[in-house]
Amino acid sequence: MEEDFAIIKIVEILPIKKYGTQSAMTDFREYTMLRPGPLEKYVGFTEDEVKVLCKKYHMEFDEAKRWYDGYSFRKVKSVYSPNSIVMAMKMGEYSTYWTQTETYESLKIYIEMDEDGLKENIVQMLGGASIRINIRTFQNDMTTIKSKDDVLTLLVHLGYLTYDANNKTVSIPNEEVRQEFMDAACNGY
């Protein structure tokens, strides 16, 4: 089984902090969840990879899609959460494996900030809506949060939201992450 998951995948890409307008690393190319560039097929499992794994481990593909798909990039339209796919195949059941990589506590902190009506936007996204954001305000760190757009952009980098570059919107990508938002909302309010 381990050989099935030996493919290297990139998870939770956080951008490099810039000082002023320049990065301290001038010849370094930054690839993020907002702009993964040529690495987009390595961020998670592709749909074809998940279909093969589901067949091999006798798991229902449609459920894998509902639980773990939802990330999308320019060239790769369906990207699945890598840790969650591996755990679902190993455990033989679809569930939320997110808390083993990130706790809902970090999510709750950002929601409680309620910058510019963030809580209302979270409720809208739980209902399936997409929220328009400006990703250019984000300062590339987890401490300089000045607006709702900063919080939502950070949540994209952490994998809690997916970003649609064409429409400049964010949304909750799948059932697993929706469950995390529900847990954070129910335990915090």
List the domain boundaries for the chain: 2-98, 103-188
pTM of the complete model: 0.75
So what's the pLDDT on residue 189? 45
User: Contact, 81 vs 44, CB < 8 A?
Assistant: yes
Alpha-carbon distance 56 to 50, whole Å? Answer: 10
CB 65 within 8 Å of CB 81: no
pLDDT of residue 20: 54
* pLDDT at 25 (0 to 100): 53
| pLDDT confidence of residue 26 | 58
Question: What's the pLDDT at 167?
Answer: 93
CB atoms within 10 A of CB 189: 9
* Amino acid 10: pLDDT: 44
| CA distances in angstroms from 28 to 18, 22, 172, listed in the order given | 12, 12, 30
What is residue 17's predicted lDDT score, i.e. its pLDDT?
A: 54
pLDDT of residue 77: 86
DSSP one-letter string for 77-130: --EE-HHHHHHHHHHTS----GGGTS-HHHHHHHHHH-GGGHHHHHHHHHTT--
pLDDT at 73: 83
Which pLDDT belongs to residue 9? 45
At residue 133, the pLDDT reads 93
- Residue type for 174, please? N
pLDDT of 130: 96
Buried b (16+ CB within 10 A) or exposed e, 10-19: eeebebeeee
**Structure tokens that stand for 118 in this block:** 């963030």
Q: What pLDDT, on a 0 to 100 scale, did the predictor assign at position 165?
A: 87
The pLDDT of residue 27 is 59
- pLDDT tens for the chain, 189 residues: list them: 555 554 444 444 445 555 555 555 555 666 777 777 788 888 889 999 999 999 999 999 999 999 999 888 888 889 898 889 999 999 999 998 876 445 556 667 777 777 788 889 998 999 999 999 998 887 666 667 778 888 888 888 888 899 998 899 999 999 999 988 887 766 644
